[in-house]
Amino acid sequence: MPNNIVVRQCCIVCACIEPHIELELNIENGITRFKMNRFISLPTQNESTVTICVTDILGDRFCVVCEDGKRVYEHVATALRAGKKVHLSFRGGEDITSAFLAEAFSRLYTNFSEEYIENSLTFTDIDPDDAADIECVIKDVKDYLNNPQQFKNAIIQAMGEDSI
């Protein structure tokens, strides 16, 4: 058995081409260590950071509804506007849907620069599959914001003029 195993995973639902999570599993003397990216990193706390727990905001473990994504966005946006770095915790979260994620992240990327978000927001307590979904949703949001007409044209082509 090799001592180092690299696992790459991608969100198939979003048809992303690049891998989005890289986990490096290192087994030494029976101890397993993971090296993870910002989507599943452990937070560091200080006065300039805040941990926001999604399930605490929602009062539920299910992260499904668009309206709940908006509520999470409002908490994150308030902290970002105050100049805080945000660790967004999904502790206890289940059934994290793309509708929920799209609502939160489309609002974030509409109202804050990509650079600011990527320097100020990390994710914790999240399943690797859900982290991959987040990255796919973020990619889709960025693509849409860069060329919304392309998305509208694709909808019209697939569903007809009356769909818009």
70-80: pLDDT as tens digits = 999 999 999 99
| Residue 56, domain member (yes or no) | yes
More confident position, 11 or 98: 98
| Residue 84, domain member (yes or no) | yes
Asked if 102 contacts 137 with a C-beta cutoff of 8 angstroms, the reply is yes
Count of beta carbons in the 10 Å neighbourhood of residue 90: 22
Tell me which residue range forms the domain holding 151.
39-163
| Residue 64, domain member (yes or no) | yes
| Residue 12, domain member (yes or no) | no
Query: Is pTM beyond 0.85 here?
Result: no
Could you give the number of structural domains in the chain? 1
Q: How many residues does the chain have?
A: 164
| Residue 25, domain member (yes or no) | no
| Residue 21, domain member (yes or no) | no
